[in-house]
Amino acid sequence: MNAFEIDAFEFCRTNSSKEGTTPVAEMTRLSKECADASGELTWKVDGGSSKQGYPQMRLTVAGTVQLVCQRCLTPFGYEIDSSTVLMLGKDDADADEIEEIIDDESIDVIVGARAMKLMDLVEDEALLALPQAPKHEVCPDTSLLDAAKNEKASPFAGLKGLKTN
């Protein structure tokens, strides 16, 4: 994996920016959640400061991953298009304090580090963008689903023939 390591606080202080494209196959945790490791994610990270002066990064992740539909059990392309603001605290106590002060659910407060791996943040954001139960809007082939429904229709149908009068 392309391990861009940054000093998160310096990255924000200097309003730095990094962007790239990374294959899903290079993201171990994400590829485990996918039907296959094809596809790639485009990402961008911009450093800066919040209105209150806290270091923050805006992270954007986009691309297509292959997931398994939970209805018909076939793979399908799922579009990830996610953006988040990560505000940085020096430690857990500082992060908790910042979270209380800003009181904004749309901003994630994390503990920053002098050696932070950008690809971990990108992969985390991609994982958070995945649906809990992925499924097609409309399944293309419902034969497996129909067969499962027919089996469930009457679990005692086989016992009917065994019934004696």
Q: How far is CA 156 from the centre of its chain?
A: 42
Question: What residue spans define the domains of the chain?
Answer: 5-140
| Bigger pLDDT: 129 vs 102 | 129
For the chain, give the number of residues: 165
pLDDT tens sequence across 6-33: 999 999 999 999 999 999 999 999 999 9
- 36 near 66, Cβ under 8 Å? yes
Q: How far apart are CA 6 and CA 130, in angstroms?
A: 26
Tell me: pLDDT of 163 over 80: no
